[in-house]
Structure 1
């Protein structure tokens, strides 16, 4: 469904060590309505698995994706990159047909006719 690169896995595992109960934490990956292009990504830790969630084990990282986000995220690659300005996660989604100028939101073919917030 999604791919975490080696760098992303290492960073998530590092971040998990700073949480309470790291062995019980999931990385929740999802999509929310909002942003200039209509949809925004969400990444965060969650101890709660909800009905309908898909649970993946990606190189030792437990990942949860809700049933609405699953089809939108199919084939997505999540990477982590360090730079002189710091580091951050990057998301390559083959289903995104347009991104906003700042890169924080995107649109899929099913969202193409809907207005954004810009």
Structure 2
């Protein structure tokens, strides 16, 4: 099976903590691409109770991950990690398909999909 998205063990640990804290045990982790941001596309991470018939289902480190067929090509090879720093912790997303990203670090674009850029003021 093709893995469009890789979730590291550290990211999976924090996702499980969030699921427990929010009462979302048994939910799917949705990894998505949305239009917006300075460069045109942004990432979305969230919990969903059900998967769509248009989703690919992945299982890594005890987490059920769903990726829409539409987003799969943009996310192929993407790695989701969780890193701690002096400023706190947070998820990082490394996408080999991103050819440009915004200075704020939250949006990107690919060679095949530009998205819908917004003004970054």
Same fold (TM over 0.5): yes
Is the aligned partner of 1:16 residue 2:19?
yes
What corresponds to 1:44 in structure 2? 46
1:107 to 106, 109, 112: 109
Q: Which runs of 5+ in 1 are unaligned?
A: none
Is the aligned partner of 1:80 residue 2:82?
yes
- Give TM-score scaled by structure 1 length: 0.92
What corresponds to 2:118 in structure 1? 117
Task: Please identify, of 9-18 and 37-46, the stretch whose mean Cα deviation from structure 2 is larger.
Answer: 9-18
1:63 to 62, 65, 69: 65
Residue-pair matches, total: 116
Q: Cα offset for 1:4?
A: 0.8
2:33 to 31, 34, 38: 31
- What is the alpha-carbon root mean square deviation over aligned residues? 1.4
2:9 to 6, 10, 34: 6
Label 1:2 to 1:69 Cα distance change in 2 as closer, same or farther (>3 A). Answer: same
Q: Secondary structure at the match of 1:15?
A: helix
Label 1:115 to 1:46 Cα distance change in 2 as closer, same or farther (>3 A). Answer: closer
Runs (4+) of structure 1 exceeding 3 A deviation are none
